[in-house]
Amino acid sequence: MTDSILFTPVRAGAVTLPNRLVMAPLTRSRALSGNVPNPLAATYYAQRATAGLIVAEATQVTPEGQGYPDTPGIHSDAQVEGWKSIVEAVHAAGGRIYLQLWHVGRVSHPLYQPAGALPVSASAIGIKGQLYTHEGMKDYVTPRALETEEVPGVVAQYADGAAKAKRAGFDGVEVHAANGYLIDQFLRSGSNIRTDRYGGSVENRARFLLEVTEAVVDVWGAERVGVRFSPTGNGNGMWDADPVATFGHATERLNRFGLSYLHVIEPPVDGHPMSVPPGVPRVADHLRGLFKGTFILNGGFTKELAEQAIAQGRADAVAFGVPYLANPDLLERFRRNAPLNPPDRDTFYGGGAKGYTDYPFLDTVAAE
């Protein structure tokens, strides 16, 4: 058993994390009818409550925000009630849990949309490729650009989701502005060719993010609101002409809120799905220098790389995704330098308890 900077506490806004391991949001596609969270999620999250902070899976703030099968929502009373039992289970286990507020924008299909409408985005620019639906793989469609007068209504949907998350008892919320979803679509020049107050200059492209953040802060208070970026991620057809300038400006503007944290995805190694593409500058360290609050890094970190990042001052905490999926006792395994459970990728999405709540704990393995 070894001492590690990972096991020391850190403050994230109004919440003190007892250690610097964050469970990253992980879509598991196990919601029930009406996109109500699965009761199994109470066990799943409570098993992982030793994380310094859990950021629960991406959760759509409106029916129009869905882009994957069986993902939970936070826009109905039934969904609020479903989340309540999950939050209570995490708190009973001594944990802290934020909810990630999500709208996928163009990363959707009419099959997911009310009345079969087109998905919306910053601009009418489609994604190449296909997405999974209950009717099989489907080509992405060209989205409809939100009208200027429609944008405040979408901002209000985030605020409503934030209010419902508060009713459900969460400790805070994370605004999902990463991975090519709606806020990211407004931020980046490759997906935003608008000519109104939400397009063109970096100041205009950041406006939607800032309006959403302000609306959510009005519900929660800034010290219980985090924001997530993926400045160099190219998934879902994303790119930006100058990510340093785009995300640097957005980060500087976020500073005025005094947020709980900024959560940035930028793997430190090549070969990860979110690794920095060739020719694209690394951005995370630049944002670390700009952001005035708690800074969380994410993306393919090992224990050693996480310790290194924190010791070097490049992060205050590190978020782990797949390692937490397969290792509910990740903290204890890191403490003992014990081997990790291998993840079963066939059970990542959909299904029941298998590959969800049945990964063995270290002490269980030792007793066998």
Residues serving a catalytic function are: 181
**Residue among 89, 130, 128 at smallest CA distance from 109:** 130
Report the SS3 class of residue 305.
helix
For every residue of 214-229, DSSP letters joined together read HHHHHHH-GGGEEEEE
**Residue among 119, 261, 133, 121 at smallest CA distance from 180:** 121
Report the SS3 class of residue 306.
helix
**What is the chain's length?**
368
**Residue among 64, 61, 99 at smallest CA distance from 83:** 99
- Residue 89 CB partners (closer than 8 Å, separation 6+): 42, 43, 45, 46
Give yes or no for a contact between 225 and 175, defined as CB atoms under 8 angstroms apart.
yes
Query: Would you give the DSSP letter of residue 42?
Result: H
Q: CA–CA separation, 197 vs 207, rounded Å?
A: 8
